[in-house]
Each structure stands twice: as C-alpha cells, then as structure tokens.
A and B are shown apart, each in its own frame.
Chain A
Amino acid sequence: MQELLNHPAVQGGLAPFVVALIVAELLQRLRLSGLAIIAGFAVTVYMASDFSIEPLTASRKIVLLGLLSASLGMPLMLLKAGWLRAVLAVAGGLAAVWVVQRILQQQEAAAIVLWGVGCMLYVGWLVFWMESLNEDSVRAGSAGLALGLGSGGAALFGASALLGQFGLALGAAAGAFLLIQMLSNSPLPCGRSFTLPLSLVAGSSACLAVLTAQLPWYALPALAVIPLAAKIPLPAKAALWLQSLLLSALTLSCAAGAIYLTWRVAGAPPL
C-alpha cells in the first residue's frame, strides 16, 4: 500500500482527483465546491512534500500562496466591485515576484527586471482572466484542467518533478470538478476560491520552472492563452457535457502546445 502511495502518478494524479471529487460533491450544498481545487492540491503537497515553511523556499511559498488565496477567495466572493479584478491581478503579480524573490536577488540587475516583470505580467494576466471565469464553472473547470495539466506537464518535462506534480494536481482536481458537472449535467458553484489559487499556483509554478529548471519562457504564452480559449462562445442550449468537451479540447490544445515546446528543449521527463 505504501508503495502505491509513493508512486508519483498517485500523488500528483489519482489522489488529488479522488479528493477533489469528494470535496466538490460534499461542499456543493454549502456552495463551496470551488475548494475542490485546493483540496486536490493540498493532498499532493502532503504526499509528495510537506507543509513546513522553514526555510521558506520558492516552492513552499507557492504552497502558502495557494492555501492563503483559497481562504481569501471565500470572503472575496462577497465583493462585487468591478475594480477588484484588476486589484487581484496586480496583487497576484506581486505575489509571483515574492515567490521567486530569492532567485532574482542572485541575478544581474537586467535579469532581475526582465524575469521579475515577466513573472509579474504572466501571473497577473492569469489571475485577471481566470477571475472573469469565476461565475462560470464549466469554463473555469475547463481552463483549470488545461492550465494545471499544461503547467504541470511542461514543468515535468522541464526537469522539476515536484513543480510538475503541483500543476498536475491542479489539473486532476479541475478534471474531477468538471466530471461531476458533465455527469450530473448541472453546474457546480465555482467562485474565487477556485480561480484564485488555480491561477496563482499554476502561474507561479511555471515561472519557477522557467527560472530553476528548463521550461522555456516562450511556453508561457501558450499557457496564458488558456483562460481566453475558455471564453469562446458556445451555443447556450448545448448540454454541459458537450460544452465541457468542446472547451476542454480547445484549452488542452494550448496546454499541449506548451508541453511540446518544453519537450523540444528538455527532452523526456526525469523519471
């Protein structure tokens, strides 16, 4: 049994999928199904790493950021102000810089500006556009599936299995969230507790994989297109399973592009 639990595919795929499935279903009546994404991520952190924060490394900052943003996402749902989306995007961008701060500090001034601004724009962009999906659970779920699998797959090929597992866990959890909707043909409550940790963790993990592993920077634009691809108009009367399939096919093609670009640079994953 222990051998099974130690398997990376169980830790980064099966376990977050099953936990997210249970959490999304159980918390449906409380309208907190969006927490499925952080529940799936947390179980992977528990199995593959730990929750300790000393020393506060970049990957531990990502875990902290995920947990805090999921908690913050619940009260933030009460706010309907139009400016909030922009504020969250700026805060998300700054949080990404905080995640990679120690790495940036060891670079030349030009590299600090280039990578710092790059990470800030990438994560800020993801937060901004994922925010626009927080009330549409099918679109958010499809974007989450692709963003998680794309970031995780690219990080895995880019020679960081831990960051790969972080992303794949998000993808598996979003897949579970989407599957319930497809099978029941009814939307689940989503909210900022789904979109905020998803965009922050996936975005920061990809930035970190660029800076510390071999994920090429030009794979990030392919991932950045995912929330936009999830906004494509679909027939309003189409069944949820069909909407999910169409949106997932579209967003996953962007994710596949990012993984392909990384594979061309880095080759096979380090298994």
Chain B
Amino acid sequence: MKRNAIAILLAASLPLAAHAESYTVDPAHTYPHFSISHMGFSTMHGRFDKSSGKVTLDRTAKTGSVDIAIEASSVSTGFAKRDDHLKSPDFFNAAEFPTITYKSSSMKFKGDVPTSVEGNLTLLGVSKPVTLTIDAFKCDTNPMNKKYECGAAASGQFKRSDFGMKYGLPGIGDDVKLEFEVEAYKD
C-alpha cells in the first residue's frame, strides 16, 4: 500500500518535473545596462561586460527562477577614467564587493509568458527587493547554432542610496534605471 502511494506521488510529479527547464546564461549576449542622471544635464548610460547565471522555467506550472552574478569590475561607460571611479569605494567598490547578484523569489506569468520577476538585488553587501518587468520574451531554436534558447529584455529601477551608495548625491542621481538583456541556452 505504502509502495503504491509512493509510486503514485512519483508519477504525479513527473509531468511537472518534465516541464521545468534549466538554462545557462550566455555571457556574450547578456548585458545588464544602467542609466543615471548626471546633475540633471544628461543621462549617463553604462553596462557590465561580464555576467553569468542560471534561469529555470516551468511554463506549464507558471514558475521559474533567475540567479544572476555580475562582475562589478566589468563596469563600462566608454570613458576609462570614469570607469575607474565607478569601481572605487565611491560607487561599486569592486575590490571589496566584486560580485553583484540578483536572485529571484517569484516570477509572474501571463499565459505561458513570464511578465515580471521579483527578487533581491545584492549590491555593496546590501540586499533589497527589486522587481524586473519583462518587456520582451522569446524562446526558440537559434538558427545559427541550432541550440534551443530563451531571450528576454527586462527593466527595473532602484535607489542607489538604499544600498549605501551615497557618493555625489544629489547631483549624481539617486534613481538608477536597469535594463537587462539576457539570452540563455537550454541545458
């Protein structure tokens, strides 16, 4: 009787497990971008050149997870002197906190398409909830390498002062806009 119950439970869980797909982020097509006001005169854009991570998706059960690690020292704004300053303790403090992470806690779906991710951004050793809205999403076989992959464009916003990054406030804006382009290959 007990053995039958276990067998039924296993059988019931199989379809769900079969739909949960695991993906590995493609660093060559995954770039977190950010933009911030420079004294109200202009909006400066930057990006991180190195990131990695894992994504899981179960479009049937409408669940999923995102786990991204970003190398703080790979920050790039197109001007080396500014990049050095951004890596210093004034901003990303890359020597002391080399990794920025984003770990999801839940994912919302519309039909079988994810529409937003709720999770924690950890920056400068401080973790705060940040919601990413998924603006575009596509899963298909890459025509070049024939591998199955998913891609998404997500965006969000946070206040850098919430993470203790207070240098240059209020001239250099507090609100940071995030734009996250990600591609991930199915494992």
Contact = CB atoms under 8 A, between A and B. Distances in A.
B84 A162 contact: no
Contacts, number: 66
A214 interface: yes
A55 B126 contact: yes
Contacts of A211: 95
Interface in A213-255: 213-214
Chief secondary structure at chain B's binding surface? loop
Given A6-B171, A55-B126, A102-B96, A213 B164 contact: no
Interface string A46-58: 0011101001011
Given A50-B166, A59-B89, A103 B96 contact: yes
Among B88, B94, B164: residue with most chain A CB under 10 A:
B88
Contact of A212 (B81, B93, B168, B171): B93
Given A57-B96, A57-B125, A161-B90, A49 B166 contact: yes
A106 B88 CA distance: 16
A213 B91 CA distance: 11
Contact of B90 (A50, A106, A160, A266): A160
Contact of A270 (B81, B96, B124, B171): B81
A159 B96 contact: no
B129 interface: no
Given A55-B164, A103-B95, A208 B89 contact: yes
Given A59-B89, A162-B167, A270-B81, 7 more contacts: A57-B89, A159-B87, A162-B89, A211-B95, A212-B94, A213-B89, A270-B82
